[in-house]
Amino acid sequence: MKIAILPGDGIGTEIVEQAVRVLNVLDLRFESETALVGGAAYEAHGHPLPESTLNLAKAADAVLFGAVGDWKYDKLERALRPEQAILGLRKHLGLFANFRPALCYEQLTHASSLKPELVAGLDILIIRELTGDIYFGQPRGRRTAVDGHFPGAEEAFDTMRYSRPEIERIAHVAFQAARKRHKKVTSVDKANVLETFQFWKDVVTEVHAQYPDVELEHMYVDNAAMQLVRAPKKFDVVVTGNMFGDILSDEAAMLTGSIGMLPSASLDKNGKGLYEPSHGSAPDIAGKGVANPLATILSAAMMLRFSLNQGAAADRIESAVQAVLAAGLRTADIWSEGTQRVGTREMGDAVVASLAGKAIGKTITTKS
């Protein structure tokens, strides 16, 4: 097993360090190699995704990724901005299915902005298509309008498109994932307005014929956004396109209390994947040692389960995270009265201690 480790920028380096410590304590046999990506790679090599980093990611069985980006790169031309690294990796590795579980831990129900009874026990999985939709459709650009409400005015345009195979493969992924869960898929579209999403709905319905044991419901995206805050526990697997998935997965993230708790996986057709926390590089707290490393640690668990066939080790990490929360340890983003505030490293120490069978509290050296 070979893991490419790409910490990236901002809090990326701090949180990935903790995830690597957790992997190392598990006594698994794997090789790992670390490389620069994002703004850090731009500073060193003039490009956010240097060829050496891309080749390392291609050769590995899985990629553990931190986060990229910083406001200081906002003025760079788009192709050189740190965020292009993640788009490049998705494209070159053929990553088309983004898994974002939104799980509300019992101890954190009060950290959610919704009433505890709405989120207690929440366990939903958002599957976002990653390669198509309006984010990549051509043509796109700026021009002078020849028609519309203001002919002759400057305008910008993008193209929303999905091909049949793109929809079929993500639909199969969703139905197969639902089979391992509560056997329900909600396909989110905007078929009442958009041709692309009428086609999406038709193709998902056709694929469903191969999964009679799974329930399928269709929901318009505006209603899905509403239902996610009204009755989120009614969902099991949600499958949707690139743009709707981008928005809904962030909404679902907040149901669980903090984006610092949420892992994600982006998979290719063979199960190789890139694993990263759902959040960004958080420049506002970078270098302060306060970032929550649990989303990255849980991403490492997803990596063991999905790409490295180490489900038992993944279970152990998830149990250790539960134990640490049960012991009352909290980083600032999830802290509440009566719990113990710890930093990034101390949270990592605690997960490592739990995995090693040691008392969690004994490892804590800093309090605030």
Quick one: CA torsion of 352, 355, 357, 360, rounded to 10 degrees? Answer: 50
Q: How far is CA 187 from the centre of its chain?
A: 19
| Cα–Cα distance measured from residue 295 to residue 263, given in angstroms and rounded to the nearest whole number | 5
Instruction: Please pick, from the candidates 56, 67, 104, 125, the single residue that binds ligand NAD as defined by CB under 6 A.
Output: 67
Residue 135 appears among annotated catalytic residues: yes
Task: Find the shortest distance in angstroms from Cβ 261 to ligand NAD.
Answer: 8
Task: Find the shortest distance in angstroms from Cβ 333 to ligand NAD.
Answer: 4
The active-site residue, picked from 190, 201, 272, 275, is: 190
Task: Find the shortest distance in angstroms from Cβ 258 to ligand NAD.
Answer: 7
Instruction: Please pick, from the candidates 76, 87, 219, 259, the single residue that binds ligand NAD as defined by CB under 6 A.
Output: 259
Per CB under 6 A, which region of 41-49, 205-213, 240-248, 288-296 contacts ligand NAD? 288-296
Residue among 61 and 83 whose Cβ is closer to ligand NAD: 83
The active-site residue, picked from 115, 222, 288, 362, is: 222
8 to 27: interface string for ligand NAD, x by CB under 6 A: ---x---x------------
Q: Is 292 a residue that touches ligand NAD (CB under 6 A)?
A: yes
Residue 190 appears among annotated catalytic residues: yes
Give backbone dihedrals phi and psi of 367, rounded to 5 degrees, phi first: -135, 155
Residue 27 appears among annotated catalytic residues: no
| Cα–Cα distance measured from residue 93 to residue 82, given in angstroms and rounded to the nearest whole number | 18
Task: Find the shortest distance in angstroms from Cβ 174 to ligand NAD.
Answer: 22
Task: Find the shortest distance in angstroms from Cβ 281 to ligand NAD.
Answer: 4
Burial profile 192-222: b = 16 or more Cβ within 10 angstroms, e = fewer: eeeebbebbbebbeebbeebeebebebbbbe
Task: Find the shortest distance in angstroms from Cβ 207 to ligand NAD.
Answer: 29
Residue 246 appears among annotated catalytic residues: yes
The active-site residue, picked from 91, 123, 135, 220, is: 135
Per CB under 6 A, which region of 19-27, 29-37, 67-75, 200-208 contacts ligand NAD? 67-75
319 to 358: interface string for ligand NAD, x by CB under 6 A: --------------x-------------------------
Edge-to-edge strands of the sheet including 263-267? Answer: 31-34, 2-8, 62-67, 273-277, 263-267, 97-103, 123-129, 237-240, 184-189, 215-220
Q: Is 83 a residue that touches ligand NAD (CB under 6 A)?
A: yes
Residue 315 appears among annotated catalytic residues: no
Q: Is 167 a residue that touches ligand NAD (CB under 6 A)?
A: no
The active-site residue, picked from 61, 158, 246, 268, is: 246
Task: Find the shortest distance in angstroms from Cβ 63 to ligand NAD.
Answer: 12
| Cα–Cα distance measured from residue 23 to residue 36, given in angstroms and rounded to the nearest whole number | 20
Give backbone dihedrals phi and psi of 102, rounded to 5 degrees, phi first: -120, 105
Residue among 1 and 76 whose Cβ is closer to ligand NAD: 76
| Interface residue list for ligand NAD (CB under 6 A) | 11, 15, 67-70, 83, 86, 259-260, 276, 279-285, 291-292, 295, 333
